[in-house]
Amino acid sequence: MTDDANHALRWPFTKGHGTQNDFVLLPDPDGTLDLTPLRVRALADRHAGLGADGVIRVMRTAASDEPDVQALAESAQWFMDYRNADGSAAQMCGNGTRVFAAYLRREGLIDADADEFDIATRAGVKKIRVTADGYATNLGPWRVPHNEQLRDRGFDTLVAVRGQAPLPALSLDLGNPHAVVALPETLDLETLDLSVAPELNPTLAQGSNVELVQPVGPGQLRMRVFERGVGETRSCGTGAAAAALALMLWSGQPQENEDWQVEVPGGTLFVSALPGGEVELSGPAELVADGEVTLVG
Ligand SMILES: N[C@@H](CCC[C@H](N)C(=O)O)C(=O)O
């Protein structure tokens, strides 16, 4: 964390991923770093930077200048300040919570013997549980924001993927927004064009993540995702939870402890409907590199 003769700011980083949804983590316990959108975009750039789907600033919750986050300081010591690759701030990142948790443990920032601990996010406090092969995050309560339309149809939005007729989708709120598209069997999930953002009708002012899903068998689905603020990614944890919940809703109500296995291009995630209308996401978290980077701007 030094200013050299050219006033370039050098900062330590860790690179990590969860089912290949990858992140640059920046330790900033006291919130002294000016993490501008320009700096985030430069870090996330896959050709001129470190490359990542998102940037996670690791800071003390009490050090945040966001009043809604600061209010969580008594419940969770560490805040996952999540930014999309385009520099925008997001409320939540399911895969990010596991990688954040792995970092906190490795760095000794939480009790190494604690198998459960809380972290703060812009979508509230989330409970993390250490599992045999990674971490499980209780993503908390989920919502169907357009419930009136859902009552009649099970779908509330049309989503047009490039080159395809619009398809019906269901909006779900996992702290961040999702539109889940049920792909007909006649469409090949692998070859759909996600090089540009699918168009939503009606549009959402805050934008949305879009999941294309196909059931594979009982309790198992395949998914591709176009993330708000990023583009197509190889995995999205909140998206996997939204996809599993949509499939549960389309076939009735989610049953307590109903489990789904979600296959994404970057690996496998697990989603469980918890009692009380909450949902848990579990999967691996890897920390793959550490170093120092020059921050631009
Ligand atoms: N990849 C994340 C979601 C990251 C935020 C998203 N792009 C948004 O803007 O809401 C996940 O694993 O949930």
Ligand 1: residue of 238, 245, 271 to mutate (most ligand atoms within 8 A of CB) is 238
Whole-model pTM: value is: 0.96
Q: Are residues 137 and 173 in the same domain?
A: no
Q: Is 138 annotated as a binding residue?
A: no
Q: Are residues 15 and 82 in the same domain?
A: yes
Q: Are residues 115 and 177 in the same domain?
A: no
Residue 5 has pLDDT above 50, yes or no: no
Q: Is the CB of 228 under 6 A from ligand 1?
A: yes
Q: What is the mean pLDDT of residues 96-105?
A: 98
Question: Which tens digit of pLDDT belongs to each residue from 172-183?
Answer: 999 999 999 999
Which range, of 96-105, 136-145, 235-244, 248-257, averages the lowest pLDDT?
248-257
Mean pLDDT of the chain: 94
Q: Quick check: bond before 141 cis, omega within 30? A: no
How many CB atoms are located within 10 Å of the residue 48 CB? 10
Q: Are residues 133 and 153 in the same domain?
A: no
Of 76, 236, 245, 285, the catalytic one is 236
Chain centroid to Cα 266, Å, comes to 14
Q: Are residues 109 and 212 in the same domain?
A: no
Q: Are residues 62 and 16 in the same domain?
A: yes
How far apart (Å, rounded) are the C-alpha atoms in residues 175 and 284? Answer: 21
How far apart (Å, rounded) are the C-alpha atoms in residues 291 and 278? Answer: 37
How far apart (Å, rounded) are the C-alpha atoms in residues 64 and 253? Answer: 38
Q: Are residues 226 and 163 in the same domain?
A: yes
Q: Is the CB of 95 under 6 A from ligand 1?
A: yes
Number of domains within the chain: 2
Q: Whose Cα sits closest to atom 4 in ligand 1?
A: 93
Q: Which domain holds residue 166?
A: 147-276
Q: Whose Cα sits closest to atom 1 in ligand 1?
A: 236
Q: Are residues 135 and 164 in the same domain?
A: no
Q: Are residues 236 and 254 in the same domain?
A: yes
Higher pLDDT, 204 or 118: 118
Question: Which tens digit of pLDDT belongs to each residue from 134-151?
Answer: 999 999 999 998 766 666
Q: Give the CATH number of the domain where residue 113 resides.
A: 3.10.310.10
Q: Are residues 107 and 171 in the same domain?
A: no
Q: What is the pLDDT of residue 6?
A: 45
Question: Which tens digit of pLDDT belongs to each residue from 60-69?
Answer: 999 999 999 9
- pLDDT band of residue 31 (cuts 50, 70, 90) is very high
